[in-house]
């Protein structure tokens, strides 16, 4: 059941280039989130959205921007990729409040060389 898909699954990019990751959902959920996962740090929130064009920063938002022009799509952009942004990026959706749990995508493994 692919209610949430991330693209691309893997990407290698050069330092200084812009990169956009896409999260697409078919569940019509209001809330969408971008996390990064790094060894020893667990999952850290980058940005989140609580509706179309309504977004806010998470704990590690520096160097990242997001956009949500439609309910189903949440884009994460690295304006100028750095090696410290090498990570696995996960998108998650939530129906109403987090009490009901997140549904995660399969992740995008990004390598910045």
Partner 1 sequence: TQLLEQSPQFLSIQEGENLTVYCNSSSVFSSLQWYRQEPGEGPVLLVTVVTGGEVKKLKRLTFQFGDARKDSSLHITAAQPGDTGLYLCAGMEAGSSNTGKLIFGQGTTLQVKP
d(CA 14, CA 84): 12
- Window 53-92: contact mask with partner 1 (x via CB under 8 A): ---x-xx------------------------------x-x
Of 48 and 112, which CB lies nearer to partner 1 in the complex structure?
48
d(CA 22, CA 59): 20
Of 19 and 105, which CB lies nearer to partner 1 in the complex structure?
105
d(CA 84, CA 112): 8
Q: Which of 66, 107, 110, 112 binds partner 1 (CB under 8 A)?
A: 107
d(CA 68, CA 49): 7
Q: What residues line the site for partner 1 (CB under 8 A)?
A: 31, 33, 35, 40-45, 48, 50, 56, 58-59, 90, 92, 94, 96-107
């Amino acid at each position: 059941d692919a209610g949430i898909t991330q693209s691309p699954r893997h990407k290698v990019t050069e330092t200084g280039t812009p990169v956009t990751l896409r999260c697409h959902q078919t569940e019509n959920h209001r809330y969408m989130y971008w996390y990064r996962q790094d060894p020893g740090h667990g999952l850290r929130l980058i940005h989140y959205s609580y509706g179309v064009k309504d977004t806010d920063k998470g704990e590690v938002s520096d160097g990242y921007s997001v956009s949500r022009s439609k309910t189903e799509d949440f884009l994460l952009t690295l304006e100028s990729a750095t090696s410290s942004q090498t990570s696995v990026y996960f998108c998650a959706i939530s129906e109403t409040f987090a009490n009901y749990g997140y549904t995660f995508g399969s992740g995008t493994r990004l390598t910045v060389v």
